[in-house]
Amino acid sequence: MPSDRIHLVEQYLRGATDVVEPRDAATVVLLRDGAAGPEVYLLRRHQTMAFAAGMHVFPGGAVDLRDRDGAERWVGPPPAAWATAFNCDPGLAGALVCAAIRETFEESGVLLAAHEDGTPVTDTTGEDWERDRLALIDGELALSDFLARRSLVVRADLLRPWAHWITPEWQTRRFDTRFFLAALPAGQRTRDVGGEADRVTWLPVTEAFDAFRSGSLTLMNATASALRDLSGHADVASAMAAPRRIRPILGRPVLTDGRLEHLYDGERGAAPLSELVEPLGRPTAE
> Which is nearest to 152 in space by CA: 73, 97, 77, 96?
73
In one-letter notation, the amino acid at residue 103 is: E
SS3 at position 88: coil
Q: Rg of the Cα trace of the chain?
A: 19
Nearest to 273 by CA among 265, 283, 285: 265
Confidence of residue 102 (pLDDT cuts 50, 70, 90): very high
Task: Give the containing element (helix H, strand E) for 91.
Answer: helix 90-108
Q: What percent of the chain has pLDDT over 70?
A: 93
Q: Across residues 19-46, what is the average pLDDT?
A: 94
CA distance 100 to 86: 14
State yes or no: pLDDT of 278 exceeds 50. yes
Q: Is the pLDDT of residue 50 over 50?
A: no
Q: What mean pLDDT is predicted for residues 151-162? A: 97
Q: Which of 82, 89, 95, 128 has the alpha carbon at shortest distance from 109?
A: 128
**pLDDT score of 107:** 94
Q: Please tell me the predicted confidence (pLDDT) of residue 197.
A: 59
Give the β-pairing of 37-45 and 197-204: antiparallel
Instruction: Please report the pLDDT score of residue 283 as a whole number.
Output: 45
Kindly state the average pLDDT of the residues 197-205.
86
Which is more confident, 247 or 6?
247
pTM for this prediction: 0.92
The answer to whether residues 160 and 240 touch, using CB atoms and an 8 Å cutoff, is yes
> How far, in Å, CA of 254 to CA of 260, rounded?
6
Model confidence at 91: pLDDT above 70: yes
- How many whole angstroms separate alpha carbon 263 and alpha carbon 275? 10
Which domains, and CATH codes, for the chain? 3-277 (3.90.79.10)
Mean pLDDT confidence for 197-214: 90
pLDDT at 258: 77
Q: Which of 124, 108, 116 is nearest to 151 (CA)?
A: 116
Residue 1 is predicted with a pLDDT of 46
Residue 271, pLDDT > 80, answer: yes
The percentage of the chain sitting over the pLDDT mark of 90, rounded to a whole number, equals: 81
Indicate if the pLDDT at residue 88 is higher than 50.
yes
pLDDT tens digits along 111-127: 999 999 999 999 898 99
In 3D, which of 127, 121, 118 has the Cα closest to residue 101? 121
> pLDDT band for position 40 (50/70/90)?
very high
Q: Does position 270 have pLDDT exceeding 50, yes or no?
A: yes
Residue of 265, 85, 76, 241 whose CA lies nearest to 178: 85
Mapping DSSP to helix (H, G, I), strand (E, B) and coil, where does residue 208 land?
A: helix
| Cβ atoms 109, 191 nearer than 8 A | yes
Counting runs of H as helices and runs of E as strands, what totals does the chain give? 8, 14
